[in-house]
């Protein structure tokens, strides 16, 4: 494995970890106004992700930094071509973070309700747009011979990308509902379980539609054949088993299965790209690859030593955080 492939694989790992961890954060934020019957319920729901959400987002920051350093042409083309949706996503994330911090600064119901709905929007928009962005990357976008995006905003709003966005939205929301089952008790847990049962069939249907669309709108079938590889099959089996696990009270395993589905979907999409990082819909020869979009060999070598030192530290800190805050969150008994 050369350094270009190694860094592509590391970026895939970082994005996969981000989608797994931040996915349930998005799901909790989306469900917040619907499962929380009063202010204290909603405070409990926010507390389930309170110790984790900002640390989970560091995976995205790290992945973006790795992309910038290892594949600067990929970073430049992606962030210039997808500028408007990425700016919208960033704005949503800023509003979401502000909501977590500011909702409790004032006891007025209207103030807290406003921030609760802004947390919902700040979770809904990224959960949708990540699916849209990844679907477009796999389908192909208008790139010229100079690695420049020459399309418009509406090129990104094609049917395949929108289906991908709805699939990611449903999957993250289901993942969040299962996380709440593990982190809450009593009435809140019962509502989260009911939400998960309702979301399950819709998520399976949207993922199935997205897979069918992938064969039609991308070169996945031409590259890998009609029969999907092991990773997509594992993801499909995982999401299908999640409903049975929820009904039988195996909540931890159900959460693991949705996480496995998220991971398999991310790995499948990046595998479909490889060795490309962005596909040109104008001319396949103009696609960005891990070679024509990369930094120098020296840069990749230095980065490899830095990653070897600091990535284990990041992982150890995250594991420690989840261990410390592993208890369920509930309302005070006196209420």
Q: What is the mean pLDDT of each run of 10 residues along the chain (335 residues)?
A: 91 94 95 92 92 87 92 92 90 93 89 94 96 92 92 86 95 96 92 94 93 84 65 83 89 94 92 91 93 93 89 85 82 54
Q: What is this structure's pTM?
A: 0.91
Structure tokens at 102: 């500011």
Contacts of 199 (CB under 8 A, 6+ apart): 170, 173, 174, 177
Q: What CA–CA distance (Å, rounded) separates 262 from 210?
A: 13
Backbone angles phi, psi at 261, to 5 degrees: -65, -45
- Please provide the distance, in angstroms rounded to a whole number, between the alpha carbons at the two ends of the chain: 59
Q: What CA–CA distance (Å, rounded) separates 82 from 127?
A: 16
Structure tokens at 261: 């589905």
């Amino acid at each position: 494995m050369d350094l270009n492939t190694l860094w592509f694989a590391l970026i895939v790992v970082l994005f996969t970890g981000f989608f797994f961890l931040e996915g349930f954060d998005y799901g909790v934020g989306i469900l917040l106004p619907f499962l929380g019957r009063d202010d204290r319920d909603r405070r409990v729901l926010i507390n389930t992700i309170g110790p984790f959400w900002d640390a989970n987002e560091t995976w995205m920051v790290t992945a973006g930094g790795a992309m910038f350093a290892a594949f600067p042409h990929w970073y430049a083309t992606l962030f210039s071509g997808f500028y408007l949706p990425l700016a919208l996503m960033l704005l949503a994330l800023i509003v979401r973070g502000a909501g977590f911090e500011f909702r409790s600064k004032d006891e007025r119901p209207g103030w807290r309700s406003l921030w609760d709905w802004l947390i919902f929007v700040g979770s809904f928009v990224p959960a949708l747009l990540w699916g849209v962005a990844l679907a477009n990357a796999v389908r192909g976008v208008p790139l010229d011979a100079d690695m420049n995006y020459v399309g418009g905003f509406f090129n990104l709003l094609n049917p395949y990308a929108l289906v991908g966005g709805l699939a990611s939205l449903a999957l993250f929301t289901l993942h969040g509902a299962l996380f709440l089952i593990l982190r809450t008790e009593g009435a809140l847990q019962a509502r989260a379980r009911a939400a998960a049962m309702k979301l399950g069939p819709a998520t399976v249907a949207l993922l199935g539609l997205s897979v069918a669309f992938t064969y039609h709108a991308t070169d996945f079938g031409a590259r890998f054949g009609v029969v999907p590889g092991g990773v997509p099959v594992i993801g499909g089996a995982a999401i299908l088993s999640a409903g049975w696990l929820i009904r039988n009270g195996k909540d931890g395993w159900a959460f693991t299965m949705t996480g496995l589905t998220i991971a398999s979907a991310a790995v499948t999409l990046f595998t479909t790209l490889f060795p490309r990082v962005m596909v040109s819909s104008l001319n396949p020869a103009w696609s960005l690859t891990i070679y024509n979009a990369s930094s120098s060999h020296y840069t990749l070598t230095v980065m490899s030593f830095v990653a070897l030192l600091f990535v284990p530290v990041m992982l150890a800190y995250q594991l420690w955080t989840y261990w410390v805050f592993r208890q369920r969150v509930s309302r005070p008994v006196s209420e």
